[in-house]
Amino acid sequence: MLKPSIKENKIPNQYLSPLFCLLFVSLLHCGGDGYDKNKSKSNDLYTAILLSLPKAEENLPQPAMNTVEITVGDTKYTKTLGVCRGDLNVNGNDNIMVPGNDQTLPLFYLHKVDFTATTNVFLTPQGPTFIFNIDMPGGGGYDPAVVCETKILENSTTIYDIQVKNCAVDKIFGAVTPPTNTISFRARCTKGL
């Protein structure tokens, strides 16, 4: 018995999504309202579609080399970094922080930095790596209340650029000024400083 030769006309899946999008836009555009008439329903739908698109996450502004830009609540600070070095946890002195002679507040400390990590980096209050705390004017300080996602923007042989946005924090002790529950920072430094 012979089977008839039938060619199946299948559209590859990779073309279906763009095809449906084009069809959808065409239907919106040809709403039948006529030329020069109010197309508020179409415009409302376009607006809803555009607002639902994911927004690209912006980085914090790039600070000058060997500085950290810190935002505590709504208050912004710029601090000079004095340390940006480590020996890959040989002695636990892998730090990014203000220099030891800088006693102006706030003081910025990022201890046990793993300078080899480029992804899956998180700030913690206790470790094992990327231990963060900040001492504030008027006494007291902050450290992360939870693990905070961190973005390494550059990790070359000479430059380290790290960013944290809206890290939930707890006060370490006492009343802290300014009071807040979030801190953001971006630190950019020359390795070996």
Q: Looking at the domain assignment, is residue 83 inside a domain? A: yes
CA dist., res. 165 & res. 122, Å (int):
12
Q: Looking at the domain assignment, is residue 105 inside a domain? A: yes
Cis? peptide before 137, omega within 30° of 0: no
Residue 133's domain comprises 67-190
CA dist., res. 64 & res. 188, Å (int):
7
Per residue of the chain (193 residues), what is the pLDDT tens digit? 455 544 455 555 555 556 555 666 665 555 555 555 555 655 666 666 666 666 667 999 999 999 999 999 899 999 999 889 876 556 657 889 988 778 888 899 998 898 888 999 999 888 888 999 998 877 789 999 999 999 999 999 999 999 999 999 998 877 788 889 999 999 999 998 8
The pTM for the full model equals 0.69
Secondary structure element (H or E) that encloses residue 76, with its range:
strand 75-80
Spatial contact of 151 and 59, defined as CB atoms under 8 Å apart: yes
Q: Looking at the domain assignment, is residue 180 inside a domain? A: yes
Q: Looking at the domain assignment, is residue 5 inside a domain? A: no
Asked if residue 120 and residue 26 are part of one domain, the reply reads no
Asked if residue 38 and residue 77 are part of one domain, the reply reads no
Q: Looking at the domain assignment, is residue 57 inside a domain? A: no
Spatial contact of 172 and 133, defined as CB atoms under 8 Å apart: yes
Asked if residue 23 and residue 100 are part of one domain, the reply reads no
Q: Is 23 helix (H, G, I), strand (E, B) or coil?
A: helix
How wide is the angle at C-alpha 125 spanned by C-alphas 162 and 150, nearest 5°? 25
Asked if residue 132 and residue 104 are part of one domain, the reply reads yes
Domain count, the chain: 2
Q: Looking at the domain assignment, is residue 111 inside a domain? A: yes
